[in-house]
Amino acid sequence: MKSVHRGAGRVILSLVFASPLVTAAPKAWITNQKDNTVSVIDTDRASVIATLPVGDKPAGVAVSRDGARVVVSNPGSRDITLIDGHNDRVVATLPTGESPLGIALDADGHTAYVADWYDQRVGVVDLDRRTLDGWIAVGRSPAGLAVDPAGTAVYVANRDDDTVSRIDPVSRTVQQTITVGRHPFGLTLDACANRLYVANVESNDVSIIDTRAFRVIKTVSVGDRPYATAVARQGRQVWVTNQYDNTVSVIDTTHDTVMATLPVGEYPEGIAVHPDGRRVYVANWFSNTVSVMDAENLRTEATLPTGNGSRAFGVFLPAVPDQTPP
Instruction: Identify the H or E element spanning 154.
Output: strand 154-158
Distance, in Å, from the CA atom of 188 to the CA atom of 174, rounded to the nearest integer, reads: 19
Averaged pLDDT for residues 115-142: 97
Report the pLDDT value the prediction gives residue 319, as an integer from 0 to 100: 79
Instruction: Provide the pLDDT confidence category of residue 320 given band limits of 50, 70 and 90.
Output: low
SS3 7: helix
DSSP character for 88? T
Rounded Cα gap, residues 280 and 282, in angstroms? 7
pLDDT band at 229 (very low <50, low <70, confident <90, very high): very high
pTM score > 0.95 for this model?
A: no
Helix (H) or strand (E) holding 2: helix 2-8
Residue type, 53: P
Residues 6 or more apart in contact with residue 68 via CB below 8 angstroms: 84, 85, 86, 109
CATH topology of domain 2-315: Methylamine Dehydrogenase; Chain H (2.130.10)
Query: In this predicted model, what pLDDT tens digit does every residue of 203-216 receive, in sequence order?
Result: 999 999 999 999 99
Please give the DSSP secondary-structure letter assigned to residue 66. T
Question: What distance in Å separates the CA atoms of residue 290 and residue 273, rounded to the nearest whole number?
Answer: 12
- Is residue 238 within 8 Å of 206, Cβ to Cβ? yes
